[in-house]
């Protein structure tokens, strides 16, 4: 019998081994996957659907394409032409608002220079000056950081140069690119929804579509964003195969048991091909082990090929005959 990696379109017959109750005809399908996710955060977090995610990214890109909003620690110079007594230089305080002569307090943090300039001019024109000429300059920027984590070559917090913006792809380049096991179709941007940082949104981005097909615009990051590049989820192949290991799989390209054995270099010469074991953890936390006769696969029974789930463990025992 030829043992090779030609297992692409074949299928097993399944029997539940050493389990209580009646045996299913095949393991449950991918409608009930068990995957290793990120740990639960300590803050409220929401995940918008694809359309909502695109709208959120577009909103920020449009608003801040000329520059990021002001934040606490920025040093600003306010110039009112012909009125040196109300032209001031000051840092944006932690509370985010500043007091101006004849005007009172104005919210500054979280707004663009133009938004603050326009409000200051309007309020000065309301009973104090006629057509005030107001300019605002940033003399010194506070640190603006984005954080890049996960399956990239250098996890780090990166400072955005003053007066410049950074996009998702630029941040990944700063982190020296993806590692081979990166799940590029599900890169996540976690972004604060409020100033206190108690509410966040998690925005998924398909970087493959972005770079390979040109679908969409490279999202603009804002200070405080956390970019998480997850690893592709894995299946585990061990026992009598030529390259036992953990192998990443992608939801976009379903992997069958026979393909997994091919990835592991095929059976070695003492493999019990008729007694391959597949162990799967189900949604209720229980585990079940299925005996799979791969010789049936080699005979062309492709209609029952098993699609693997993240976390599946395949064991090829030794043949004693």
**Res. 208: pLDDT tops 90:** no
Cβ–Cβ < 8 Å for 249, 312: no
Report the pLDDT averaged over residues 49-73. Answer: 77
pLDDT in tens, 216-258: 788 999 888 999 999 888 899 999 999 999 998 876 678 889 9
pLDDT of residue 195: 57
**Res. 16: pLDDT tops 50:** no
**Res. 25: pLDDT tops 50:** no
Q: Which residues pair with 227 in a beta bridge?
A: 148, 189
Mean pLDDT over all residues of the chain? 80
Report the pLDDT averaged over residues 45-52. Answer: 64
pLDDT band at 102 (very low <50, low <70, confident <90, very high): confident
C-alpha separations of 189 from 1, 42, 141, 162, 195 in Å: 51, 17, 24, 22, 17
Residue 255's contacts (CB-CB under 8 Å, 6 or more residues apart) are 235, 249, 263, 307, 308
Report the pLDDT averaged over residues 33-57. Answer: 53
Cβ–Cβ < 8 Å for 168, 187: yes
pLDDT in tens, 144-179: 999 999 999 999 999 988 878 899 999 999 999 999
**Res. 70: pLDDT tops 50:** yes
pLDDT of residue 47: 60
**Res. 51: pLDDT tops 80:** no
pLDDT in tens, 257-283: 999 999 999 999 999 998 899 999 888
Q: How far apart are CA 228 and CA 186, in angstroms?
A: 9
pLDDT of residue 237: 95
Report the pLDDT averaged over residues 102-108. Answer: 90
pLDDT of residue 43: 43
pLDDT band at 128 (very low <50, low <70, confident <90, very high): confident
Q: How far apart are CA 160 and CA 184, in angstroms?
A: 23
pLDDT in tens, 108-127: 988 889 999 999 999 999 88
Report the pLDDT averaged over residues 85-111. Answer: 89
Report the pLDDT averaged over residues 130-142. Answer: 92
Tokens of 47: 């995940």
pLDDT of residue 48: 63
Domains of the chain: 13-35+235-316 (3.10.560.10), 44-66+144-229 (3.10.560.10), 75-140 (3.30.1950.10)
Query: pLDDT > 90: what percent of the chain?
Result: 36
**Res. 12: pLDDT tops 90:** no
Pick from 31-35, 117-121, 140-144: least confident: 31-35
């Amino acid at each position: 019998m030829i043992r090779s990696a030609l297992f692409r379109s074949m299928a097993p017959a399944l029997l539940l081994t050493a389990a209580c109750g009646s045996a299913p005809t095949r393991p449950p399908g991918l409608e009930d996957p068990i995957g290793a996710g990120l740990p639960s955060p300590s803050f409220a977090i929401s995940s918008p659907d694809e359309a909502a995610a695109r709208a959120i990214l577009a909103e920020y890109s449009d608003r801040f394409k000329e520059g990021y909003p002001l934040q606490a620690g920025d040093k600003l110079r306010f110039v009112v032409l012909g009125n040196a007594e109300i032209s001031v230089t000051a840092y944006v305080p932690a509370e985010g608002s500043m007091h101006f002569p004849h005007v009172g307090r104005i919210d500054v943090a979280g707004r663009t220079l133009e938004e603050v300039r326009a409000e200051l001019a309007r309020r000065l024109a309301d009973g104090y000056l006629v057509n005030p000429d107001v300019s605002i300059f940033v003399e010194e920027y506070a640190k603006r950081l984005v954080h890049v984590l996960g399956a990239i070559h250098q996890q780090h917090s990166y400072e955005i140069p003053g007066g410049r913006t950074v996009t998702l792809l630029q941040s990944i380049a700063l982190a020296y690119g993806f590692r081979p096991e990166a799940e590029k179709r599900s890169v996540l941007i976690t972004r604060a929804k409020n100033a206190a940082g108690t509410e966040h949104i998690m925005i998924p981005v398909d970087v493959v579509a972005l770079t390979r097909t040109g679908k969409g615009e490279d999202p603009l990051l804002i200070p405080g964003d956390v970019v998480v590049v997850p690893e592709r989820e894995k299946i585990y192949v061990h026992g009598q195969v030529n390259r036992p290991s953990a192998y990443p799989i992608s939801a976009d390209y379903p992997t069958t048991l026979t393909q997994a054995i091919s990835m592991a270099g095929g059976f070695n010469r003492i493999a019990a091909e008729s007694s391959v074991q597949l162990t799967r953890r189900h949604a209720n936390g229980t585990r079940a082990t299925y005996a799979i006769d791969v010789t049936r696969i080699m005979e062309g029974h492709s209609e029952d090929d098993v699609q693997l789930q993240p976390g599946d463990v395949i064991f090829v025992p030794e043949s004693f005959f």
